[in-house]
Amino acid sequence: MIIRYFQIFAILVVLSLCGQRVSAQVPHDQPTAEQKLMKGIELFEKELYGSAIQLFDEIVLYHKRVGFNDISADAEFYAAISALQLDNQDAEYRIVNFIKRNPESPRIQRACFFMGQYKYDEQEWESAVYWFGRVERYRLERQERSEYYFKQGYAWLMLEEEEKANKLFYELLDFPESDYYGPGVYYYSHIEYTRGNYETALKGFKALKEDPTFSPIVPYYMAHIYFLQQKYDKVISYVPTIINEVTPKRKAEMQRMLGNAWFKQANYDSARVYLEKYKESTDNFKRYDLYQLAYSYYQTGAYEKAANNFSLITSKQDSLSQNANYHMAASYLKQGDKKNAHLAFGSASRMSFNDKIKEDALFNYAKLTYELSFAPFDETIRIFHSYLDQYDNSDRSDMIYNYLVDVYMTSKNYRRALESIDKIKQKNRQVTNALQKVAFYRGIELYNNLKYADAIAMFDKSLGAGGNDAQLISLARYWKAECLFREKKYDQAIQHYKQYLTTPGAYSTSYYNLTNYNVAYSFFKQAEYNAASIWFRKYIDNADSAITRILYDATVRLGDSYFVQRKYNQALLAYKDATKIPVEENDYAIFQQGFTAGVLHNYKQKIDVLIPLTTRESSLLADDALFETGQAYIQLNKPAQGIAQFEKLIREYPRSNYMKKSHLQAGLMYFNMGDNEKAADHFKYLIEHHKGSDEYGEALVALKNIYLDQNKVDEYFSYAKKLNINISSNEQDSLLYLSAEKAYLNGEAEHSRELFNEYLTRFADGQFTLKAHFYLAQSLFNDENLDKAIPHYKYVIKQPLNSFTETALYNLATIYRDKSNASKAWEYYSRLEPIASNKRMLMESRVGQMRAAIKLEDYKKVEKAASQILITEKLPEEIAREARFNKARALEKLGRNTEALVQYRLVAQNLQTPQGAESKYAVARLEYEAGKTALAENEIQNFIKNGTPHQYWLGKSFLLLARIYQESGKAFQAKAYLQSIIDNYAIKDDGIIKEAEERLAEITTSEDVKFETGKDADLELEFDRNSKVDTTQLK
């Protein structure tokens, strides 16, 4: 552009030089300044700028000497412009210097204009607008002016001064012949487009429809403008005519516009066609586009696709998410999927952007919660109350109240249900009936968790509710009596059992006859044996023969009651009846039958009954039976047979409590038979191994008599001396011990301890040393002086097995358990197990071992002890549950997950207990860890359906279910379950809510990223300020 202008300008300069009078003489053989200037311009026109600059600089230098300023200014001007053309480093300096030195030159305007062009080409926008700003545009030619408007406008645009730029681009509308007209109109129209002046922009873009540079993009702008003007008919008619001519990227956007336009026209079939094409051809879709596609699916009956697409746009808290959740719920309902509909309605109800949607969603959420029995955190009651609080004037209020009463009647979270019912001020008959039922079941729940006092309060609440369910009234009285029995308040228990029996509706319950048994046991526990026998007989006479375990126990206890009253014949018949009842173990009944026969002096019958029991090696009463048959043979004057029984017991049951007595009885029998040597062997065993026992003293006397009969007194003294037996002090030994024992038995604890200590000081190795240590330990133990009791118990257990070993071991184990010394506790519990004399003590030893091993984190020992507990007969339900649960945990710790699952499943059958709830979660967790996510999900859904009062494990299960859904691509379901925890979980500080919030944020963030990867396409075109139209070819 600069060259063309200078061609014109050079002609003018030459013409002016021809008429100029030369004021200085030059040699005739040298060219004049004018000739040099003409030559320089000639070189300039030929674009030989370097040579031209050389001539122009010579002119400037010469004229500085002689003072020809006009020619010098022209040469200086041409030299600066030549430098610009060569992009020399001194070009800008030359221009600036020219302007400074020639302030009056008419060429300054043109110098500024050329400088502006130069800075424009260099993209130095601030400098460009500076130099253009110094130009008086109306002194420019028309073509120069169009260039001036465009380039200055473009520079301002690059400086983000759209207002200034647009005014200059607007001027170009009057230059249709200019090469800058097209770019200028384009930028002007684009700016108007971005400002929302669509009609003005449209007019400009239409003017460019035939422009070869801009015609490819003009239809795209026009389509967008029609869309933004909401002229959907024009979009629908115009876009199809151009859609196949645009680029693939533009085609996707055209499809999007068509889909949107059809959607706005409520033509959902056409909308889904184009929106589907758009979704298939790009990853840069917006949430609202997905909403339109999902809604089009919904309106055209494609409910599964609708739900899937709605679920993708619910990550944000906005009106779009609320609407999407609501219609997703409707889509699920159309498919009959109430579970997912319930979750979606819940999500919609938590947002308040559209109150109409919120109300309807909240109602449907509550209704589906009720219908699905989905209330793990008691959502149903809370949601119904929330609805009533927010929409108390709703037409649905009556319906809600009816639902609410039904919920109270069926709620499994009885504690929360009670809290809710208590808030109702005016309780009608439906509510009082609900209160009666809910309080009753809350009482049962507390009873199962061994909280008997709290359970009693609930049964009283049920009884005082004013409900009209007679059977519930009777049952509340029954279970209140059960609680009192468990608390050992037997008189009160009897009173309430009897009230239950006389309550209308009691007879039709399954507990009616069982109550006779319970009353009998209450009397039995208080040693009121006559009353007990009457009530046991009532139970037996009305018992269902199928309930063999209780019938057996009642019959045995009837026998016991008769026996204690010395009604031996009746006792014998009762025990005999008990042996006929088909139970797994009837050892006790057999033994008592034989023993009672002996009391009645029917020794042959006693032997006949007991002999079979002596061969039952697994029976805890086999050693008892052996001893009693031995005693019976003695009574029948059959000492040899009696001795055989005693010696069999000694051989086969060396740890039996009857072992010492068997030695004594065998020794006495041998002595009576004249076999003094064998008699002495038995007596010496007792003297040497069981000093301090009752049998020790008798053995010592019997041995002395043997030596006296044989006239071997010296040998007796010699034997006694060898064993450090002080024969002369025995009487003093006995008197001091007996006085201490008498004080102990009379309850004079402190005095007895003084006497026992005195005895042990004086007779450290006396014949009653063992007893003194034991009774002193017992006295200290009973007064909770445990540290002082320990050494005395330890003395007892160091002695050979004796009648005190069992109690001493048990009490030592108890002391160390309470001291949290698990290692010592386990040691003594484990030593107790092999010598346990009855099933209760056997169970105590095994349970103690298990609990101590848990604290020691020795899972092999835990598993072993728990397994032993589970094979113990007549195991209380709560102990069996604890053992099975601990066995499961131990197996899991040992890496035997398959076996652990078996145990966990058994414990999880009762979700009302804490172990059952934790086990249910453990089953799901182990299935998940094994990759069996479908099984894990089923376990959790079953857990949710059945409910539990133990929220923590249900909360953990919800978190696990959310993880399963998240990992399987079901983000909506995952978020819904996490939100359910946040909204409904009652415990605020156990970490469940915090984890749910963190996980929900994590999922939401990951969903947001999906819409942020790459450019988020918009209906509006973005203007790239760093781009510019190529104007290098514009003339």
Q: Which of 351, 376, 372, 374 is nearest to 361 (CA)?
A: 351
Look up residue 14 and give its two tokens.
């030459």
Q: How far, in Å, CA of 220 to CA of 249, rounded?
A: 11
Residues 6+ apart with CB under 8 A from 818: 786
Q: How far, in Å, CA of 793 to CA of 780, rounded?
A: 10
Note the pLDDT of residue 1009: 58
Is 945 part of a structural domain of the chain?
yes
Alpha helices in 710-838 (DSSP H): 713-722, 730-745, 749-762, 769-782, 786-798, 805-818, 822-832
Note the pLDDT of residue 806: 94
Q: How far, in Å, CA of 699 to CA of 706, rounded?
A: 10
pLDDT along the chain (1035 residues), means of 10: 46 43 49 83 89 88 64 87 89 89 86 92 94 91 94 96 95 93 95 95 93 90 94 95 85 92 96 93 86 96 95 89 95 94 92 94 90 77 86 82 74 77 77 90 91 95 91 93 94 94 87 93 95 94 82 94 95 94 90 95 95 88 94 94 95 90 94 91 90 83 83 75 69 76 89 90 85 94 94 94 93 95 96 90 94 96 95 86 96 96 95 94 96 95 88 94 92 87 88 93 77 43 42 38
Note the pLDDT of residue 604: 95
Phi, then psi, of 816 in degrees rounded to 5: -70, -30
Is 555 part of a structural domain of the chain?
no
DSSP label at residue 609: H
Distance of CA 142 to the CA centre of its chain: 78
Note the pLDDT of residue 18: 42
Is 423 part of a structural domain of the chain?
no
Note the pLDDT of residue 171: 94
Residue type (1 letter), 390? Q
Q: Which of 361, 362, 437, 377 is nearest to 406 (CA)?
A: 437
DSSP label at residue 425: S
The 10s digit of each residue's pLDDT in 10-20 is 444 444 444 44
Q: How far, in Å, CA of 207 to CA of 218, rounded?
A: 9
Whole-Å CA distances, 80 to 29, 76, 84, 105: 29, 6, 6, 14
Other beta carbons within 10 Å of 1021: 14
Note the pLDDT of residue 953: 95
Is 413 part of a structural domain of the chain?
no
- Tokens 């097995």 belong to 801
Note the pLDDT of residue 829: 95
Whole-Å CA distances, 566 to 478, 569, 625, 993: 33, 9, 21, 65
Q: How far, in Å, CA of 363 to CA of 14, rounded?
A: 95
**How long, in residues, is the chain?**
1035
Is 631 part of a structural domain of the chain?
no
Domains contained in the chain, number: 2
Note the pLDDT of residue 709: 78
* Alpha-carbon dihedral angle through residues 767, 770, 773, 779, given to the nearest 10 degrees: -100
Phi, then psi, of 693 in degrees rounded to 5: -80, 165
Other beta carbons within 10 Å of 633: 22
Is 205 part of a structural domain of the chain?
no
Q: How many CA atoms, within 13 angstroms, populate the side-chain half-sphere of residue 586?
A: 25
Phi, then psi, of 904 in degrees rounded to 5: -60, -40
Q: How far, in Å, CA of 757 to CA of 143, rounded?
A: 130
The domain of 982 spans 923-1015
Q: How many CA atoms, within 13 angstroms, populate the side-chain half-sphere of residue 983?
A: 20
DSSP string, 477-502: HHHHHHHHHHTT-HHHHHHHHHHHHT
Q: How far, in Å, CA of 1035 to CA of 683, rounded?
A: 138
Is 198 part of a structural domain of the chain?
no
CB environment 6-18: b (16+ within 10 A), e (fewer)? beebbeebeeebe
- Tokens 């002082």 belong to 788
Is 333 part of a structural domain of the chain?
no
User: How open is the CA angle 251-257-263, to the nearest 5 degrees?
Assistant: 140
Whole-Å CA distances, 368 to 323, 324, 403, 412, 417: 19, 18, 11, 16, 18
The 10s digit of each residue's pLDDT in 308-335 is 999 989 888 899 999 999 999 999 999 9
What does pTM read for this prediction? 0.59
